[in-house]
Every structure is written in C-alpha cells, then in structure tokens.
Amino acid sequence: MCEKLELVREEKLYRLLPGKRKDSRLEASGVALLDDTTALVVFDNLNQVARIDLSLEPRKTNRLLLAPSVGAGFEEVAVDRDAGRVFCLIEALEDVDGRFRGFVVEYDAAGRFVRLTRLGTRLESENKGFEGLAHIRRGDREYLLALREGGSGAKGRRGGSRIDALAPTADGGWRPSHRIGLPKNAEFEDYAAIDYRDGRLAVVSQSSARLWVARLDEDGRRVVPGSETVYRFPKRSYRNVEGIAWLSDDTLIAVSDRKKARQPARCARKDQSIHVFRIPAA
C-alpha cells in the first residue's frame, strides 16, 4: 500500500480572496510559485489568476488579476522565475480547421499579455487535452512540459498519456521537442497536474487521489527507472485535486476543483481549496 501524504495546512479559496463568498465558484485547476512567498492559482471557469500568500491567511496582497485569453479559463499555470514569465495552459479549443488543440498564453511579470502559442498536437475532444504544464530550465536550455491525457476519453484507458516537451522557437513561441513516457505505476484513472523541481517530476491524478513522484535523467528526456514512488492523499475527501507545485524537496502545494454532483458530500469539505502537503520521511 502506498504511503500517505501529511497535511500541513489548507484553506478554502473564498476565505482568502477579497469579495468572494462561500457560494462563489472558484474551480481551481492549477497552481505555481510566483516567488518564495506567493502562489498563482488558475481556474477553469475564470479568465483570472489569483495571487495568494503561501501562509494561506487572508493577507492584503491576496487578489484576483484579469488574464486576457481566448478561452473561458485555464487548465494549468507555470512560471519561469528567472525571466519573470507566466504561462497559462488552455486544455483544448476548436481551431480554425475544426480540430481541437491546446494553447499556451504567456504573460510578463506585470501580468501583461505577451503571446498566444498553438500547440501542434491534434486532440480528440475539448475534454481530453492537455492537463498540466511545468517549466524546466537546465543550463542554457529550457522546456515547457505539457501533460497530455491519452486514449479516447474512456475512463481508465491506459498507455496513451504522456508528457510533451516543448522547446522555444526563434520568434518566442514553442515547438515540439521530444516526448517523455509515463511508466505503468503512473497510469492512473486520469491525469490532472504536473510540476518539476530539481530533477523530480510530480504528477497528480484527481480520480485516483494519488501523487506520483519520479526523477528525470540529466537530459530531461526520460524517467529514471526505479525512481518512482506513489503517495495517496490523507483522506477520501481529496477527490478533486487538480493542481500541484513543489514548495521544497519534501513539500508541495495543491489546489482542488469544485465537487462534482456525483461525488459524496464529504468531498465538498476539501473542494475549491488550497492545500500544503508533506511527503513522509523515508
């Protein structure tokens, strides 16, 4: 049986953001660190990005920022802290040729729109697209890691999900570079989020309520065999975790989406929230 993550602290998002109430819809879908004290949270029902103090207390600096985009919300967010860039992921939109594709919207450190990049991969539907995004820098090279759900949308279909690595282009966009396969013990019911820090990947499954951690090799092109570990969330009510980011080598911050109608009432206790978890000591 996999080990259980330890809850450090958590809070409902409406309690942290000014002007929000208990009945506000804050369908959190992604989280990233802007700096050592601030998290950015995106929502799949809002073209806004939340700045939240990592203390998870209602500070004056907590606020919602407008984020101009072509979609109705974002699936994930990633930050290049060295360059002060923020990347917001649109899971899938119907393109001009009638095909569904993912898009990355880039903003500068002041929150101003910079560019929109279309991801070349053709997707089967607007509900089965790119689910996670992470920024990786190794020396003078950098990539965006885009977590893509595979299969035709049937729950539990395995073997088709992967990570697409995107390299920068001369005009500032992103092009496909290589793919990173996911091992069998990362083949969950679904894939909800990804993050990278110091050579380690973290991948979250919302439906399976699991966290998978593994090391990437030095070139960032494959998972190191035997380095994978799977953890479970501390309670069955954590069934909507849809964003993850490393805070330190053993601590991660997560956000949860809104409870689904088919889910038991207990899931509402943890939905639309931000959480900090610690990996248990070996």
Q: Where are the domains of the chain?
A: 3-278
State what percent of residues in the chain have pLDDT above 70. 93
The answer on pLDDT for 243 being more than 50 is yes
pLDDT digits (tens, 9 = 90+) for 174-219: 999 999 988 777 768 888 999 999 999 999 998 889 999 999 987 7
Class of domain 3-278: mainly beta
**Cβ atoms 56, 9 nearer than 8 A:** yes
The answer on pLDDT for 153 being more than 50 is no
Q: Exposed/middle/buried for 135, CB within 10 Å: 0-12, 13-18, 19+?
A: buried
CA-to-CA separations, 194 to 95, 96, 163, in angstroms, rounded: 25, 29, 9
- Give the pTM: 0.93
pLDDT digits (tens, 9 = 90+) for 69-95: 777 799 999 999 999 999 999 988 888
